Each structure stands twice: as structure tokens, then as C-alpha cells.
Amino acid sequence: MPKQDITGLENSLGYYFRDKELLLKSLTHKSFHHENPEKAPSYNERLEFLGDSVLGLVVVEYLFKSDKNYSESTMSKIKSYLVKESILSDIAADISLGTYLRLGKGEEETGGRGKKSILADAMEAVFGAIYIDGGYKCVRGIILKLLMDKIDTAISSEQFFDFKTDLQEESQLKFGVLPQYKIIKQEGEEHKKIFTVDVFIKGNKLGSGKGKSKKEAETIAAKEALSKIKNI
């Protein structure tokens, strides 16, 4: 890929590399390296490892400095949610990162440019490259710009909480049993179903939820049950 071809990505990032080779390396998948060692003597896994750590630091620092005074546990949950593959691949898709990837023929033919794992890894590698090229302040600004909407949405909707896991832990701790979920109702057409799920602990109904999937309904039911048993 000629260096001028990555200008579009730099425009999307809002950052222009002094060392263009760093950006190219962050976009180089190991499959391309294995097939073209003369063109790409290295690939993006080391930058990905670095970028993962930089991303985690930026997110935790932002949460730590928030006036909401989040607990360590809550910060950990929010960070885990924001750095997962689905979130990073969505951000990568927003800036058309897949267009710029250097992939081997096999990955190219099997749709590698759209694979969530490859996109998420490359996004972290780009963050690592920006950190090396421009320093922490630069990469922090870019990460927050790309993630801010998702941070706000995650916090306002509490998407980062794993209510089912939390309920399981609370139930085992207080009652020595696992919660049981039961589908009470399924409504609507096959592709537009609404599920109603109740959750029971030792035979007692403690929560109920409705959702477009069983998982969503169970999550809502678990949230309601948690609020009850934490007061027991």
C-alpha cells in the first residue's frame, strides 16, 4: 500500500503520523507478513499489545477523574465493557479501518476486512502506533474522541453491568443456590418476538423482564432481583 493511500485514515483519526511506517505496521496483519516478508518484515501484534494497555489506561484515567467518583469495581466493569472486541470493531468500522488493512490472500478471500477480531486488534495497534509516534496526550485525545459516545451510552444505560453474573454471585453467597430463569411468555411474530422471563431463587420469584431476546429479558429480570436481594 503506497503511503499516500493512508491519508484518508489519518483524516478520519485526526492525527497525521511523522513516521508513516508505524501506521503501516499497525495495519499489517500477520497473514500479509507471512506471504510478503520482503514488503512487511513485521506485523501489528506487538503494537496491538501496547495499544491494549494504552486504551485501558485512557479509559480508567477518564473514569477516575470523573466527578461521579466511581468505585474500583464499577470502573473495572466499565473498562471491560468498553475495550471488548465488539466495541472496538464498531469504532474501526466507523472510520473504515478495514479498507486500509494489509491482509494475506487467504484472509482477504474469507472476508478478513470485516472480521470483528481483526478490526478490533488493528484498532488497538493503531492506538499503540499513535502513542509511539505522538505520545500519551495525543493518543488520549483520539481515543476519547472515538469512544466518548460509547462511554456516555454505556454509563447512562448501565450496559457495562453483567447483572446475571452479579445475581449468580449474590444468590450463591446469601442463599447457597443458583437463580433459575423461566420463560413465561413469547409474543409477536417469529422475527419480532418479545420474551417475558421471570427469575426465581429457592422457588421465590424475585424479578421479571421483557426483551427482544431471552438474554435481554433475563438481564432485566436479574437486575430487578439484584435490587431486592441486596436489601435482604
Q: Where are the domains of the chain?
A: 3-157, 163-229
How far is the C-alpha of 26 from the C-alpha of 5, rounded, in Å? 14
Confidence of residue 1 (pLDDT cuts 50, 70, 90): low
Question: CA dihedral defined by 99, 103, 108, 110, rounded to 10 degrees?
Answer: -110
The percent of residues in the chain predicted with pLDDT above 70, rounded, is 97
* Annotated active-site residue in 52, 107, 170, 198: 52
124 is catalytic: yes
Mean of pLDDT over the chain = 92
Residue whose C-alpha cell is 484498532: 123
The pLDDT score that the predictor gives to residue 119 is 97
Alpha-carbon distance of 12 to 146, in angstroms, equals 10
Distance from C-alpha of 106 to C-alpha of 65, rounded to nearest angstrom: 45
The model carries a pTM of: 0.75
- The tens digit of pLDDT for each residue in 138-190 reads 999 999 999 999 888 878 777 677 789 889 989 999 999 999 999 999 998 87
Q: Which of 223, 225, 159, 217 minimizes the C-alpha distance to 188?
A: 217
Count the neighbouring beta carbons within 10 Å of the beta carbon of residue 5.
Answer: 11
186 membership: H or E segment, kind and range: strand 180-187
CB 195 within 8 A of CB 189: no
What is the assigned CATH class of domain 3-157? mainly alpha
Instruction: Give the DSSP per-residue string, 109-170.
Output: HTTGGG-HHHHHHHHHHHHHHHHHHH-HHHHHHHHHHHHHHHHHHHHHHTTT--HHHHHHHH
Q: What is the Cα 56 distance to its own chain's centre?
A: 11
Helix orientation angle between 214-229 and 163-175, rounded to the nearest 10 degrees: 40
In whole angstroms, what is the distance from residue 65 CA to residue 185 CA? 44
Write down the catalytic residue from 107, 121, 124, 170: 124
pLDDT exceeds 70 at position 4: no
Give 77-110 pLDDT, tens digit per residue: 889 889 999 999 999 999 999 999 999 999 999 9
Indicate if 52 belongs to the active site: yes
To the question of domain 163-229 being in CATH 3.40.50.720, the answer is no
Q: Is there a contact between 142 and 13 (Cβ–Cβ < 8 Å)? A: yes
Determine the Cα–Cα distance for residues 49 and 33; give it in Å rounded to an integer: 17
